[in-house]
């Protein structure tokens, strides 16, 4: 059974940085696409970034390019989201998600992923 547990969220000032972590179990990183999504207040859940072994990382959200990066520690079964130069519009609940794909789905839609963590809240103050 796939299990995902996020941590690392919190309150940060605009311009600051955070690292979100996702502890994973129950699957092999080699065969899965690893992604971060977010749900901003009043908005639908949206893809942020995805990582697969075969193609590396792809961005789903243009506004985070150059500010957010994704990485994984396959040995320790961790997925990370490094967020820098945070903006108030980055305020959201952030979720890690995984799916049994060799490549990241191009759509960036939540429906493509069936395994989710519970989410971690990030609040960026202006």
Cα(38)–Cα(125) distance, integer angstroms: 17
Which residue, chain included where needed, has tokens 């939540």? 110
Q: Cβ(80)–Cβ(24) under 8 Å?
A: no
Q: Cβ(106)–Cβ(41) under 8 Å?
A: no
- Of the listed ranges 25-29, 78-82, 89-93, the one predicted with least confidence: 25-29
pLDDT at 30 over 90: no
Give backbone dihedrals phi and psi of 20, rounded to 5 degrees, phi first: -95, 145
Q: What is the pLDDT of residue 112?
A: 95
Tokens of 70: 């994704």
pLDDT tens digits, one per residue of 63-80: 999 999 999 999 999 999
pLDDT at 5 over 90: yes
């Amino acid at each position: 059974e796939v299990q995902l547990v996020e941590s690392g969220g919190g309150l940060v000032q605009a311009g600051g940085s955070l690292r979100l972590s996702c502890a994973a179990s129950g699957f092999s990183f080699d065969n899965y696409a690893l992604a971060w999504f977010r749900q901003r207040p009043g908005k639908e859940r949206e893809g942020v970034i995805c990582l697969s072994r075969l193609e590396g990382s792809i961005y789903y959200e243009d506004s985070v390019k150059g500010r957010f990066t994704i990485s994984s520690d396959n040995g320790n079964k961790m997925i990370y989201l490094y967020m820098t130069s945070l903006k108030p519009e980055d305020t959201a609940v952030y979720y890690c998600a995984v799916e049994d794909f060799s490549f990241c789905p191009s759509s960036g839609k939540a429906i493509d992923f069936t395994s989710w963590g519970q989410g971690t809240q990030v609040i960026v103050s202006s």
